[in-house]
Structure 1
């Protein structure tokens, strides 16, 4: 999983984070989205769509690798969006998040007027204060730029702050911190990362985030089992319903963590035997992207 995808997951789960970065207080109602401009091959991964046409549309790009044609592409995408979506906004602002100044494109000609204007805001994460000195939302961004030696104590501090302050969407924040650590410490299993953070798998399963997903999936499965039981007998129907409930739990967890699950992948999961569904439910705690789910299925089926 690329680091920029972690940022986009952060923005999708906690849109307020982006506006905290810009120091904007009143930004309610914005929806974070990836916009595909169907007339071309352009796709803008980070667009904050205003709740009304009178609002400002924000374009956000996370750029962690040097690309000497980045501004050519970025501004081309922006201006095409502005032409195609003119009735959905009143003004626009662009933001690029860099790890440091050295990552930025060096030759900005002929885009100097735009790059140097108020239309574009460039953020260099290494110039932000330490995570302990930042609001929690910005500290998550800073965490992604730290060295392997710096990350564990900073991550533990953020987990403890989240727990102690009982912040809104605390379970989501802890899950994001865990995912960031798994991205950096690829050689560790999820349980080892949780231990590094001072957490346990059981603690994660007790969070409202996990329980809501599990309860919803179980309810779907039980309902399916009851309907099936009317036709084939209560016992058989409930047994099938519980199995379908496990599948629903797995799919719902995957959607919550990684977004849309492709139809072909969902069908493969639905065809798993009951014991493989249970194994997948445990294994998915270690996954960091859908590619690992596919690899697990290929090894296990």
Structure 2
């Protein structure tokens, strides 16, 4: 189960959930951008970094650990401090370590006692969070990841129902449904997508015009983000010509343009798609 992918997608879509896990106000998310950051000289990639918009803001480092790893602290702090070395203008930092249960926490090491005992690093054990029904909607999504199989379908249906009236996580109802469905798919790998939809009562919902329109809009948004990321990695900041390419490609299937995105020059892309 690739749980880290689910968490990082959640944090990117609704960064307020990250701050709720930190024990802080989700309102802080308005000033942050969640992304992965490459530390170039050593080819390290930090998968979860919450970067502030202001230079005097705190940088948050996140790590999701669902397997036993006694070297976790060594790796986490080594990569963290390597980042601080390469970005010395960083004003302040904090860390968030997420485990499904306390037994996966590495054994205490005196090398990191001061860091772990202070307020810089927060360690969260998902099975020790309150029951899903008592948690805010965003944290309920997080807790669903570790919910036992026998109770997960019922809890998932309740989250979907709550999404009708609760919008405090920064996610649309359609996005919440997609996250719930994804989590359940990972839990019940032996079931087909149709069986999952029937389990969660989604078949009727997905046939509604409102849901289909929202789903199409969400797909276009994700496509737009993918294209923009590829173009940014190749050409740096996007000028108006490349922004027009992004908008043009948002509605096209990836098979028609992915090769061109990776190989064509800036001028060729604009000539091909900016019409």
TM-score (norm 2): 0.76
Structure 1 unmatched runs, 5+: 218-244, 253-260, 268-301
- Per the alignment, residue 173 of structure 1 pairs with 176
Q: How does 1:1-301 map to 2 (within 5 A)?
A: 2-25=2-25, 26-27=27-28, 28-87=30-89, 89-165=90-166, 168-200=171-203, 201-203=206-208, 206-213=211-218, 248=251, 250-251=253-254, 263=259
Distance 1:7 1:266 in 2: 28
| Two-structure CA RMSD over aligned residues (Å) | 2.9
Q: Number of matched residues? A: 231
Distance 2:249 2:192 in 1: 23
Cα shift at 1:197 = 1.1
Cα shift at 1:4 = 1.3
- Per the alignment, residue 238 of structure 1 pairs with none
Map Cα deviations across residues 103-147 of structure 1 (whole Å, 9 max, x no partner). Answer: 011142322222222111101111111100000010111000011
Distance 2:152 2:5 in 1: 19
Cα shift at 1:208 = 4.1
Cα shift at 1:165 = 3.5
Task: Answer 1 or 2: higher relative contact order, Cα 8 Å, separation at least 6.
Answer: 2
Cα shift at 1:91 = 0.6
Aligned with 1:60: secondary structure? strand
Which structure has the larger Rg over C-alpha atoms? 1
Aligned with 1:206: secondary structure? helix
Call closer, same or farther: CA 1:213–1:128 in 2, change over 3 Å: closer
Distance 2:159 2:221 in 1: 29
TM-score (norm 1): 0.69
Distance 1:150 1:191 in 2: 20
Map Cα deviations across residues 27-63 of structure 1 (whole Å, 9 max, x no partner). Answer: 1220000011110021110000011111000000001
Map Cα deviations across residues 57-100 of structure 1 (whole Å, 9 max, x no partner). Answer: 0000001111011110100000011111122x311001101111
Call closer, same or farther: CA 1:140–1:263 in 2, change over 3 Å: farther
Map Cα deviations across residues 212-259 of structure 1 (whole Å, 9 max, x no partner). Answer: 256789xxxxxxxxxxxxxxxxxxxxxxxxxxx99945439xxxxxxx
Structure 2 unmatched runs, 5+: 223-247, 264-275
Call closer, same or farther: CA 1:147–1:117 in 2, change over 3 Å: same
Call closer, same or farther: CA 1:214–1:249 in 2, change over 3 Å: farther
Call closer, same or farther: CA 1:130–1:72 in 2, change over 3 Å: same
